């Protein structure tokens, strides 16, 4: 099923895959694994058996479900929109076969009215499969980097043929100074929100903003986060940052 999204930088979500595995500290409070458990309890078979109960609540158990029926969904939306692909998984998870990833790309290539945003933490696999992917212009490819320990994901992304490349620096868990932004079109930053959220230092965000401004890279500040994200809001030094890649189409939210 595809749904309208409350995520600030997209309009809809589309999930041809469900399920994942925690891979790095940015996954600890993964919203998708909690939501998957709730959707299973509500009787949605797509999310059945994808999580187990750990000490802190629902945790992915590593099972992946390929939802072939959803592959045709974007073709049913005639008006163009910005679509976040796989908010409930990671398209480049090791258990998603290349052949299936290529079918997801076929759908995106055939529905040029939409702009697709893909995010992965499996950047090494992304680069490994790059030669087998025919990159359409309406696909923006991003990697998530939560702290300096994972900045190598940016290098993997840079070496792919994706036409638009972006970084999601959230949940931001540490400083990210001296980022190599060559070849990067867009940067999103944000603090973690929800129960058990880890705090973000405003100077980490300021540093990223300043690096983007200096490098001419568009910048989007999503939120400060915390237990009540509405209260903390998304003003950074008195203003919002809602930029999108310079090549963004009229579908930008």
CB 207 within 8 A of CB 176: yes
Q: What's the rounded Cα separation, in Å, for the pair 189 and 138?
A: 22
Would you say 30 or 176 has its CB closer to ligand SF4? Answer: 30
Under rule CB under 6 A, residue 217 binds ligand SF4: no
Chain centroid to Cα 109, Å, comes to 19
Stretch of 26-34, 50-58, 167-175, 183-191 lying at the interface with ligand SF4 (CB under 6 A): 26-34
Under rule CB under 6 A, residue 22 binds ligand SF4: yes
Would you say 27 or 85 has its CB closer to ligand SF4? Answer: 27
The C-alpha torsion from 211 through 213 and 216 to 222, rounded to 10°, is 90
Least Å distance, CB 93 to ligand SF4, is: 7
Of 17, 20, 73, 83, the one binding ligand SF4 (CB under 6 A) is 20
Question: DSSP code of 242?
Answer: B
Would you say 90 or 185 has its CB closer to ligand SF4? Answer: 90
Nearest by Cα to 21 from 66, 63, 62: 62
Would you say 160 or 243 has its CB closer to ligand SF4? Answer: 160
Stretch of 16-24, 45-53, 100-108, 200-208 lying at the interface with ligand SF4 (CB under 6 A): 16-24
CB 164 within 8 A of CB 186: yes
Stretch of 22-30, 64-72, 163-171, 211-219 lying at the interface with ligand SF4 (CB under 6 A): 22-30
Under rule CB under 6 A, residue 30 binds ligand SF4: yes
Structure tokens at 16: 């041809």
Would you say 7 or 22 has its CB closer to ligand SF4? Answer: 22
Of 90, 146, 170, 192, the one binding ligand SF4 (CB under 6 A) is 90
Tell me if the bond preceding 224 is cis, omega within 30° of 0. no
Name the 3-class secondary structure at 102.
helix
Name the 3-class secondary structure at 232.
helix
Q: What's the rounded Cα separation, in Å, for the pair 94 and 86?
A: 14
Least Å distance, CB 20 to ligand SF4, is: 3
Give residues in contact with ligand SF4 (CB under 6 A).
Answer: 20, 22-23, 27, 30, 32-33, 60, 89-90, 121
């Amino acid at each position: 099923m595809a749904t309208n999204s409350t995520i600030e930088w997209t309009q809809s979500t589309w999930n041809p895959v469900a399920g994942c595995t925690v891979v790095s500290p940015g996954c600890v409070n993964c919203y998708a694994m909690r939501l998957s458990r709730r959707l299973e309890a509500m009787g949605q078979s797509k999310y059945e058996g994808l999580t187990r109960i750990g000490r802190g609540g629902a945790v992915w158990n590593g099972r992946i479900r390929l939802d072939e029926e959803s592959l045709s969904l974007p073709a049913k939306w005639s008006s163009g929109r910005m679509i976040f692909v796989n908010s409930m998984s990671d398209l480049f998870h090791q258990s998603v076969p290349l052949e299936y990833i290529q079918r997801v790309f076929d759908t995106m290539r055939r529905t040029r009215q939409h702009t697709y945003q893909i995010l992965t933490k499996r950047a090494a696999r992304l680069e490994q499969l790059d030669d087998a992917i025919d990159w359409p212009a309406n696909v923006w490819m991003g990697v998530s980097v939560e702290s300096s320990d994972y900045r190598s994901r940016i290098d993997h992304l840079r070496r792919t043929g994706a036409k638009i490349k972006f970084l999601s620096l959230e949940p931001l868990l540490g400083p990210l100074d001296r980022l190599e932004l060559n070849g990067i079109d867009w940067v999103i930053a944000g603090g973690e929100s929800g129960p058990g959220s880890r705090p973000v230092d405003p100077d980490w965000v300021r540093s990223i903003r300043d690096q983007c401004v200096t490098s001419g890279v568009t910048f989007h500040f999503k939120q400060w986060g915390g237990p009540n994200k509405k209260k903390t809001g998304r003003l950074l030094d008195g203003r919002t940052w809602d930029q999108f890649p310079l090549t963004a189409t009229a579908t930008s939210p």
